[in-house]
Structure 1
C-alpha cells in the first residue's frame, strides 16, 4: 500500500511548506531559547528561502494529490487533507500572529500637538529630540508598540526607535549611502529589535545601529543625540516642543503598555524579597566614553540621585531627577577642572569646589560659575542583560 501511495512525497512537500517558516518565526520571536542562539545570519538567508521552499512544497503536495491521493484509503485521504489544512492554518501563526510587522504595525497617522493642545499626560516618559531649534517629544508607550517612528525634526530626517525587550531607545539618521531609507521591523535577535533598510536589505541592531548581516555588514547608522525624561521635565526645558499624539487606531495596544515607563520587573515580582538584586531586567543607565562602556544600577541611582565618577579619564556626573524617571549624564569638567557635586536636603545641587548652584540640565544658575554649562554625554536606559550582551567589556557601578 505504501509503495502505491508514496507517502514520503507528501511528507516532503509538507515539510517544505511548514518547517522553514516555523524555524524562521521561532528564531525571530522571543520564544524559549530562541534569542540565545547566534543565528542572525541563518535568519537572514532563511527569510529569503522560506517562500521559494513553500512554492516547491506546494507543487510537491499538489502533484501528490493528483497522482496518489485517490490511491489512499478513506482514512488516509482524510488524514492528508486535514494535515494540508493545518499547514495552511500554520501560515497564520508564522506570517501574521508571530510576524513582527503584523504584531507591531507602523502608525497610520503621525500627529503632533504643542503643549496647549497636547493630550499626553506630562507624567509620561518621552524620548526628546532637538534639531535646528525644533524640539519634538515621542512618548515611550507609543514608541514601545510601534518600535520606530520615521519622522523629521528641524527639516532633518530622524529614525526614532525603541525596543521593549531590552528597554532602550535610540535615535538614528535614516540616511544610508546618501539616501533616506524606509525601515521595516524584521523581528528580534538577542532580545533586541532588528530593522531592515529598503534599499540594501541590510539588517541592523536597534540597540547599537550596527549592521549585523547583509550588504552593509559592519557599518553603522549615524546616531543622533536625544534625552529621555518625563514630558513635564522636557517641556520645562523646551516649552515650544511638539508632542507626538496617540494614533487612535492603536489605543488598545498602547494600553497594554500602561505603566511600562515607570515600573521595574523586580517591583512587580512578589517572589523576589531583595528588590536591589541584580537581575536580567534590572534597569541601567549606560554610557560609552572613548570606547569604554559603563552601566549604573538604576535603583542605586534612585537612592543617591547624583553620582560623581570617572571613565577613561573623563570626569562624569550621572544624575537622576526627583521624579525618578528623568536622567542625565554630563562631563563634569569646567574650565579644565573636574568638579564634584552634591545634593542637599532642599534639593539644591552645588559643586564642592566653588559652591556654585546648578540645575538638573547642567547649567550653573548662581555662584562663581554662573552661566557655565556642563557638556552632555549621551546616556541610555537599558536592561542589564541587553547592555551586557552588546557591551561585553562594560564596567559596572553599584553603590
Structure 2
C-alpha cells in the first residue's frame, strides 16, 4: 500500500474555505454553547469514560484512546434534527427561501413502504436527523468531511435514543453521541468507540446518495425533509443558509479533514468518490470514473457475486447479483439493468417487468459511496477494482 502526506487544512476556517460571508456549520458558536460551555472546555460525559474489556471491531481496538479524538466544534454546535418535517416540496413554506432544485444531492431511504429524501443542503449543516418510519426509530447521518452517509436503526441497548453531534472527529469522521448513555459513536463504523456502550454496533439500513430529480423519478410518492426552522433541532429553533454549500472548496481539494490526517493511501485522489463493498474478509473500492467507463461491473468480492453501476447523474449503486439463489450477469440498458429476462430499476434494484417483476435485489454495500481517503482509512488493505 502506498501512503504519503497530502496537504491538510490548518483548522476549521481553512477546511471550510467554501463558506461565504462567514457562514459555516458552527457559525455563531465561537462562544458558549447551549449549556454555557465554551469551545475550549466543551466535553461530553464520555471524555473520561473507560471500559474494562477491550473490543476489536474491524481493524480497530476499542475503546479508542481519548487522544485520538479531535475537537472540531463544541457539542451540539452543529445541531442535529430531532423533529423533522417532510413534504412533497419546499416551496409551500414561507420560512424556506431556497428552491429545491432537481440537481440537489439527497440521501434517499425507502423503508416499510415509505420513501424519504434528505437533502445534503440540510445535512451539510446538521449532519444527523433523528427520524421514525412509522413506529421504527431511524437515524440518518452524513459526514461532509468524509462524504459518507450512514442510516441505521436508532436503538441503543434495544431502546430508542436520540443522537447528537459530539463535536469530536475521529479519523476525520463525525463522532456522534447518544442521549441515553452519552457514549461516543463513530459514524462510518456505526459503532460506539468510547463510553458504556463501547463495541455496540447499530443495525444498518440501505440508503442511496442520488440527485433529487433521480430519486423522485424512481420514488414518485417520496417525501423530502424540510429545512429548519420548519424542522426542529436539538437546540430548538435554528436556521442556516441552506443555499450555500460550506464544503464546496473542500470537496474539490486534496485537503483531508481539518488537519488531523497526516497520511493517506495515495493510489487515488483522496476525494475520489468510491463505492466500497466488504465481504468474506475482502474489501474492494469501485471508483465512480471506472464504473462509468465500464457501464456495468459484474464482480465477486470475497465469494459474494455483485453488480456495480452508476446512473447518468453519477449515482453509484451495488447489488448482490443473485436471483432466487442463482448468480447471474447483468447488462446495461440506458438507466436500467438487464438480467434473467427482466429489466431492473437502477436506483432501486426492483424488477420492472418480465418473470421477476416486483422482485428487489439485495444491496451489496451497507454504507453510501464516500471519499476514497475515508474508505481506505476504515478499510486498510482495501483493493481497488480495475487495479
Partner of 2:151: 171
Q: Distance in 2 between matches of 1:327 and 1:240?
A: 22
Partner of 1:387: 375
Q: Distance in 2 between matches of 1:143 and 1:116?
A: 15
Q: Distance in 2 between matches of 1:311 and 1:283?
A: 19
Q: Distance in 2 between matches of 1:348 and 1:149?
A: 31
SS at structure 1 position matched to 2:205:
coil
Q: Confirm or deny: 8 A CA contact 2:43 2:75 kept in the other structure.
A: no
User: Normalising by the residue count of structure 1, what TM-score does the alignment of the two structures yield?
Assistant: 0.66
Q: Distance in 1 between matches of 2:111 and 2:198?
A: 29
Q: Confirm or deny: 8 A CA contact 1:183 1:196 kept in the other structure.
A: yes
The question of 1:298 aligning with 2:298 is answered no
Higher relative contact order (CA 8 A, sep 6+): 2
Instruction: Name which of 66, 81, 84 aligns with 1:42.
Output: 66
| Pairs aligned (count) | 305
Judged with a 3 Å threshold, the aligned counterparts in structure 2 of structure 1 residues 178 and 389 are, in CA distance, closer, same or farther, namely same
What residue ranges of structure 1 are gaps of 5+ in the alignment?
Answer: 1-19, 29-37, 48-93, 267-275
Q: Confirm or deny: 8 A CA contact 2:152 2:202 kept in the other structure.
A: yes
Q: Confirm or deny: 8 A CA contact 2:275 2:288 kept in the other structure.
A: yes
SS at structure 1 position matched to 2:146:
coil
Aligned-pair CA distance for 1:111: 2.2
The question of 1:137 aligning with 2:117 is answered yes
Judged with a 3 Å threshold, the aligned counterparts in structure 2 of structure 1 residues 364 and 185 are, in CA distance, closer, same or farther, namely closer
Aligned-pair CA distance for 1:108: 8.1
Aligned-pair CA distance for 1:165: 0.9
Judged with a 3 Å threshold, the aligned counterparts in structure 2 of structure 1 residues 116 and 240 are, in CA distance, closer, same or farther, namely farther
The question of 1:358 aligning with 2:338 is answered no
What residue ranges of structure 2 are gaps of 5+ in the alignment?
Answer: 1-38, 48-61, 93-98, 230-237, 255-265
Q: Distance in 2 between matches of 1:147 and 1:287?
A: 23
Aligned-pair CA distance for 1:259: 6.1
The question of 1:111 aligning with 2:110 is answered no
Aligned-pair CA distance for 1:237: 2.6
Please identify which structure carries the higher helix content: 1
Judged with a 3 Å threshold, the aligned counterparts in structure 2 of structure 1 residues 347 and 159 are, in CA distance, closer, same or farther, namely closer
| More displaced stretch, 105-114 vs 310-319 | 105-114
Judged with a 3 Å threshold, the aligned counterparts in structure 2 of structure 1 residues 199 and 374 are, in CA distance, closer, same or farther, namely closer
Q: Confirm or deny: 8 A CA contact 1:161 1:206 kept in the other structure.
A: yes
Q: Distance in 2 between matches of 1:385 and 1:357?
A: 35
Q: Distance in 2 between matches of 1:129 and 1:292?
A: 26
Judged with a 3 Å threshold, the aligned counterparts in structure 2 of structure 1 residues 42 and 232 are, in CA distance, closer, same or farther, namely same
User: Within 5 A, what are the aligned runs for 1:4-153?
Assistant: 21=40, 40-43=64-67, 98-102=73-77, 104-107=78-81, 110-114=84-88, 120-153=100-133
Q: Confirm or deny: 8 A CA contact 1:172 1:223 kept in the other structure.
A: yes
Q: Distance in 1 between matches of 2:329 and 2:113?
A: 31
Aligned-pair CA distance for 1:129: 1.9
Partner of 2:276: 286
Partner of 1:331: 320
Q: Distance in 2 between matches of 1:129 and 1:347?
A: 20
SS at structure 1 position matched to 2:377:
helix
User: Normalising by the residue count of structure 2, what TM-score does the alignment of the two structures yield?
Assistant: 0.68
Instruction: Name which of 238, 241, 247 aligns with 1:252.
Output: 241
Judged with a 3 Å threshold, the aligned counterparts in structure 2 of structure 1 residues 359 and 130 are, in CA distance, closer, same or farther, namely closer
Partner of 1:8: none
User: Within 5 A, what are the aligned runs for 1:258-273?
Assistant: 264-265=252-253
Q: Confirm or deny: 8 A CA contact 1:115 1:240 kept in the other structure.
A: no
Q: Confirm or deny: 8 A CA contact 1:138 1:243 kept in the other structure.
A: yes
| More displaced stretch, 362-371 vs 231-240 | 362-371
Q: Confirm or deny: 8 A CA contact 1:127 1:140 kept in the other structure.
A: yes
